[in-house]
Each structure stands twice: as C-alpha cells, then as structure tokens.
Amino acid sequence: MDTALEGLRVLDLSGPMGNYSGKLFADMGADVILVEPPQGTALRREPPFIGSVAGTERSLNFACQNTSKRGICLDLETASGQRLLRELTATADLVIETAPPGWMDARGIGHAALSRVRPQLVMASITPFGQTGPYADMQATDLVGLAMGGLLYMGGYHDAAPTQAHGNQAYMCAAMYGAVAAMLAVTEAEATGQGQHVDISMQEAVTLALENAAQTFDLEGVVRKRPLAEQRFAGYGLFECKDGYIYLGSRGIGNSPAWSRSLQWFKDEHMEGVDRLFGPEWADLAYLKSPEARDVFGELFMRWARQHTKAWLYSEGQKRLIPLAPVSTPADLLENPQLKARGHFVAFTHPLLKAAALMPGAPYVMSGTPWRVHRPAPALGQHTAEVLGELGIGAQDLSRLVSMGAAA
C-alpha cells in the first residue's frame, strides 16, 4: 500500500460540521463516498465563492473540505434512497453523519439498523451537543458552538465584547476529534469484528480548547479573563510595525534575560528615547503592568518599529534570542520559507479556475504512506452511476431511480 488508509471505505453523509472529518480519511487514501441529498450538502452554499458568484459548484469551502472523495446523490427521505444506503453500508467500514439525534433511526438507517447489515460498521455521529442530555435536540451554528463551549468568552480584549476566531473553528474541532475517535473505533472493529456508535459533541470538543480555564475556576474560584486583558506588560504584546504587526515577549513574568537583550538591541539601533527604559522601576513587575509603563514602552517601541518591516524585526530578534514573531497574514503564509520548504501548500484544481491555485495540505509528513490529494472535490452527483454500478445497478435501473427522485 502506498497510502495509509487504502482499502478502507467511508460513507460521508455529513454537512459542514463533518465534511472535514471525511476529508482527513480521503486524503490518506480511504475510499470516501460523499452521500449528498439532491440539493447538495449545505457546505456547497457557504461562501467564499469562486469569482464571488454563488453556485452549487463554486464554494471554496466545499472544494477544500471534500478533496479526494467520490460523490453521489441519494434522497434519504425516500424508501429507495434508504435501501440504496443500506446496500452501500454492506461494503463500508465507517459512516460519518451530522443529522439531528434520532433522524437516522427514524428512517431505518441508524447504527442499530445498519449494523445488522454489517456488524463491524462504525458510525460516527457529530452533533452540536451529542446524542443525549437536555441540549441534545438543539441546533447550533459554529458561533453557538464557540459560545456554548466557552471558547468565545476567551477571545478578544477584556474591555470589549468576546471576539469570534476566524473560520468555523468549532466545526473544525468537532470534525477533527470525530475523525480521531472514528479511526480508533475502526481499528477496534478490525481487531474484534464488532463496530460501535461513536457520539461526538461539538460543545465538548470546543471545551477541550479551554486548556485549564475550567480547572482554574474549580480549584481557585477564579474566572480567567480574555488573554489580552492582563498579559500586556510593558515589553509584552502585539505592536504595530512598518508592514503589519509583530508579537513581542521580551518582558512579563520574572526577570527574563530577553529584556536586557532587548534594551541592548534598542541601544545598538539608536532607538529614540531608549534611555527612558532604564532605571530601577523597570525591574518592578507591578510597574511593568501599570498603564504608565505600558504607555511609555508602547510609544517608544512602536515609533521605532514602524520604521522596520516585520521580517527584519523577526530576523534581528532571532539573532539576539528575543522572543519576537511576525503576525502572518494569509499572503505571508504563501511566501513563508518554512512552509515552502516542507511543501505545505498543495495544488488546488477546479473546473472553474483557469490555473491551479494553492490550498493547505496536511500538518504532518508520513514517510512510508504519504498524504496527498487524490482528486478534486466531486461535482454534485458526479459518481452516482459509478458507485451504484459497483452494486450491480445498471443504467436502466439508475434511470428509474433518478426518475423516482431517489438518486441523482
């Protein structure tokens, strides 16, 4: 095998909360079949769109999260569509779905029913709050997931409303944890011949991102504030420069040697007013946290930093062993020498693009069974005839199923 998951078959019935989970399997070589309703998964209607024009085949999010999959259309509201899914399940190892709890069972295609067709089948159900509990039947967007999981409260500044992180981070958390849990269950099923139902909660996945915030309150009764509320010591934080922003961590907790190195750097570069940063008060942690110290440092440092690019500041800071990093924009990432050297960005092809673009690849490298994009995301119903043909359904039967609305 030249791919890690070759020979594994996955049915991806999911929407925006789970399409990325299926992608993780597909790009590692599994045969992932995206099973969409006739109107397509909701992710097809999510911007941004190619050329800023909405359309079933124009969503960049859909195109990125469904690479390497084959795609078919089945109407699971119909008896024929449900029968076809059961037939497909007999050939599958894993089903990923994001329907509300009970929706699959009500149509005779839940885990209990499908496992009678294939006992070793694993079903991964990714939902906002899991299959049980008082919130189980509630719906949620990505923003609701961030809020109910507690991560939204931790983002932004203490004197402003909580700030949502870019992108669908709650969905991505659920999809990634779902993929890991599903892979563990598939491994167990291969060893024992017995599958299981894996219940993934987006809220719980997001809560894991809080690190020790919950424990801090449980043990100490202290509600942690948003990070930028009290971490902005003099010499610590985000600062504007000539072409964007940099993060500087030269001072803060304890007597960091980076502070003295920074002062020497500023002197060597003849920073205007640098003498104001010398004196016994700058060794006092309480003073460093004061508005006066922050204002003085910010005024002097940013006046100097605005004369330099973030690339120059980063390079010089690294030479002097000062914790300083550029705040990268998406454009910066495409030119980042480390990401280029590792080949992180890979070619992204699409019928509506004249030339290949770039998209993020995998954040890991496997020497023996490498990750790769095997094919572009499927057009709506692109492989319906091919996949159903593998079940012995010929052109005439397929035409009948399409006329009935069971397939497309």
1 falls within a domain: no
225 falls within a domain: no
Are 271 and 356 in the same domain?
A: no
What was the pLDDT predicted at 183?
Answer: 98
What was the pLDDT predicted at 229?
Answer: 44
Indicate yes or no: pTM above 0.85: yes
What was the pLDDT predicted at 296?
Answer: 94
Secondary structure string (H, E, C) spanning the chain: CCCCCCCCEEEECCCCCCHHHHHHHHCCCCEEEEEECCCCCHHHHCCCEHHHCCCCCCEHHHHHHCCCCEEEEECCCCHHHHHHHHHHHCCCCEEEECCCCCHHHHCCCCHHHHHHHCCCCEEEEEECCCCCCCCCCCCCCHHHHHHHHCCHHHCCCCCCCCCCCCCCHHHHHHHHHHHHHHHHHHHHHHHHCCCCEEEEEHHHHHHHHHCCHHHHHHHHCCCCCCHHHCCCCCCEEEEEECCEEEEEECCCCCCCHHHHHHHHHHHHCCCCCHHHHCCHHHHCHHHHCCHHHHHHHHHHHHHHHCCCCHHHHHHHHHHCCCCEEECCCHHHHHHCHHHHHCCCEEEECCCCCCCCEEEECCCCCCCCCCCCCCCCCCCCCCCHHHHHHCCCCCHHHHHHHHHHCCEC
**CATH number of the domain residue 158 falls in:** 3.40.50.10540
What was the pLDDT predicted at 73?
Answer: 97
Domain boundary among 329, 363, 393: 329
What was the pLDDT predicted at 256?
Answer: 73
215 falls within a domain: no
What was the pLDDT predicted at 253?
Answer: 53
Are 61 and 191 in the same domain?
A: yes
What was the pLDDT predicted at 1?
Answer: 62
Are 46 and 78 in the same domain?
A: yes
Ordered mean pLDDT values, 10 residues apiece, the chain (408 residues)? 92 96 98 97 94 94 96 97 97 98 98 96 98 98 96 86 91 98 98 98 96 90 72 82 94 73 95 94 87 92 96 96 95 95 93 90 93 95 96 94 91
Domain span including residue 244: 232-329
- The total domain count for the chain is 2
286 falls within a domain: yes
